[in-house]
Every structure is written in C-alpha cells, then in structure tokens.
Amino acid sequence: MMKGVPRYLVTLLVLALACSLASAYDPSPLQDFCVSTNDSASGVFVNGKFCKDPKLMLVSANDFFFSGLNIPRDTSNPLGSTVTLLNVDKILGLNTLGISLARIDFAPYGLNPPHIHPRGTEILVGVGVITLVVLEGTLLVGFVTSNTDNSLFTKVLNAGDVFVFPIGLIHFQFNSGHTNAVAFAGLSSQNPGVITIANAVFGSNPPINPDVLAKAFQLDRNVINDLQKKF
C-alpha cells in the first residue's frame, strides 16, 4: 500500500490501468457479427465501421468470403516481395472479430523489409516455395525488442515452420533461397496497420529535416539526402 493513499483509490487505479490496457486492442464482439458497410443509414457505428443490419437481410455469405489467395503474386519490384493483406476492408465480416490474414510472396532473395504492426501480433507460417518441381523453401525471419536492450530474435524457417512476431516490434522476413517462396501470416487485429521503417523515416511527406536524421543515424547529411531521394 502506498503511504497516505486510501486503499479504494489504489483499487480504482489498478482497475483504470486494466481498462486502459484492454482498450488498446480490438474490442471483443458483443453479438454474432457486425459486417462492415459504408452506408451509415443501414446500421450502427462499431469499432470504426458502420455495420449492416442482419435483420434487414443485408448480410450474406459473401461478406465472410474471399477467393484467389492461392494465386502467386507479382514480385517484380525492388524488394522482391508482395504482401496481400486481407483485413476488414477486403473481408467485411472481419469487423469486430479482431483478426486478419496476409499472404507474402517472395522472389529469390526477396525481402519484406523491417516494419511494425501497431495494432496486431503476427504469426507466420512458412509453406514452401511456388515452383513446378521443388516443394521446399527457406525464410530468414526475426524481430528486435524495444530500446531496453534491442535484442534480435531470429530464426531460419522451412516449409511448415511457424514463427510469432509480438505486437509493435520491428520485424522482417527474407527469402534466403534461390527459388520463389510464399508464407501466410495471421494477425490479431481486423486492421493491424503497417509502418515500414525505411519508408516512414526517409520517405515522409514532407521530408524530415536531414539534420535530424543525420544526427539520429550518425551519418553525413549528404548520405541522408541521397536516402531521402530514393524513397
């Protein structure tokens, strides 16, 4: 007990902290479903979305359905990777359910660069390569803890392996093999968001003052200018 503080105030403080922590995540649903809609006249506003009224027969099976996640994506970009995210904007029935899904395609030596999901923990399943013959693949993955120690946790994943990236921590996936690879990820939010570190720091609009970045990264200002031009 803190000296001079009544017991009931301590109890209220603990309860307030517990409630504030709980509200940091997607709220638990209080009904079977709350299918998202852009029509504000058809329902109530829940968790950032208006919901269809199921009593008016506005909800259908298609609100919980997506087709085509088996199709390989184009990875002919500078990073050699493509993320296909199925969040509440793609599957309207995910609203209030607190989950989403992503397919990640990798070209040989493709990279899903260091990034964070501010609203979701991620669990990644390595499912092998997409080729006509070989059915194996290798992903180098990892995450870094917060600034208390900046520890790196890294692992090489093969087909069928699973890895968890805790919420809000910087993480990455790299195809260290010479064949195409694909992985699926589940996220603990209907709209987990993504912040790609390099894009946010060097590609902000308007740009961050180069002097700030030069001091932060301990680099020459000309190097910062060059990096900002790339993003």
- Domains of the chain: total: 2
Residues 50 and 88 placed together within one structural domain of the fold: no
Residues 199 and 105 placed together within one structural domain of the fold: yes
- Domain membership of residue 104 (yes or no) is yes
- Domain membership of residue 226 (yes or no) is no
Q: pLDDT digit string (tens) for 18-61?
A: 444 444 456 666 677 878 887 766 555 565 677 887 777 788 99
Residues 95 and 153 placed together within one structural domain of the fold: yes
Residues 74 and 185 placed together within one structural domain of the fold: yes
Looking at residue 18, its pLDDT comes to: 46
Residue 213 has pLDDT above 90, yes or no: yes
- Reported pTM: 0.79
Residues 106 and 164 placed together within one structural domain of the fold: yes
Residues 88 and 179 placed together within one structural domain of the fold: yes
Mean pLDDT lowest for which of 84-93, 97-106, 119-128? 119-128
Domain residues for the domain of 46 are 7-63
- Domain membership of residue 2 (yes or no) is no
- Domain membership of residue 130 (yes or no) is yes
Looking at residue 84, its pLDDT comes to: 95
Q: In what order do the strands lie in the sheet with 49-51?
A: 36-37, 49-51, 45-46
Looking at residue 48, its pLDDT comes to: 64
